[in-house]
Amino acid sequence: MALTDVRVLDSITQLDDDATGVVVAASHAGRYAGYLAVANGATAVVLNDAGVGKDDAGIGSLPMLAAVDCAAVAVDHDTARIGDGLDAVASGRVSRVNETARALGCDVGQDVLDCVEQLRDAPEPGTVPSPGSGRYELDDGDPPVLGMDSLSLIRPDDAGVVAITGSHGARLTGERTSYIQGDVGAVAFNDAGGGKDDAGTSRLPVLADRGIPAVTVAHDSARIGDARSTWETGVVSAANHPARALGVEPGHSCREFAHLVREGR
């Protein structure tokens, strides 16, 4: 099947604002990712279930999008690498569908390509309310701890801050340099359940090469796509070498990670 009319992306944040039709993006299927899909014009979207995780946050966009008649499907994170859109198309299998997608014939267990063919008949969706800025001050110490529901919300002027994100910890397949816009002092992600080839933690060594302490928190300890949840309940599941050099270990809380970063300055 030709995909000439389907957008295939490593991240939903790469979608421009004139998208139409079906979008296959290897982002988690949380609420923020679903909002970005509809806000940028998608009529149907395929995302990664990120291991589902705490409070089913990894598929949180599916019922939200069904409420505005947007067809949405999640891919099993064990069948396709999160952060790799082409892998979703090549080997992904559907793990969850919302009511709008089911009405079009999509079902659990389908190959992504088969599902995409049915999603081409998706209706024009309604409007999803904006989730707000997605940036928060979590702790005003030195350095400050800032929360970003999406990694894309990190700015160049965030140099030195401890960035607590709701994003998955996967390196995007097409990424040649770090996707992080600023030289943050440290950063935390969600491990998205690890998934195929442990993709959910694959950004950590990239950041180690830049000397940036980085961790993932377990997907069942914090809601993916929610920086405040990462900060409040996240438990470290993996740490890169610069983080371990500061004493950070799996099992530490996200707050302990930030404390150790400050102590190590």
> What digits encode the pLDDT tens for the residues 32-48?
999 999 999 999 999 99
Beta bridge partners of 239: 215
Angle made by CA atoms 41, 116, 43, in degrees to the nearest 5: 15
Q: Give me the pLDDT at residue 169, please.
A: 96
pLDDT in tens, 171-214: 998 776 556 777 899 999 999 999 999 999 999 999 999 899 99
Closest CA to 167 of 153, 186, 146: 153
Closest CA to 60 of 237, 229, 194: 229
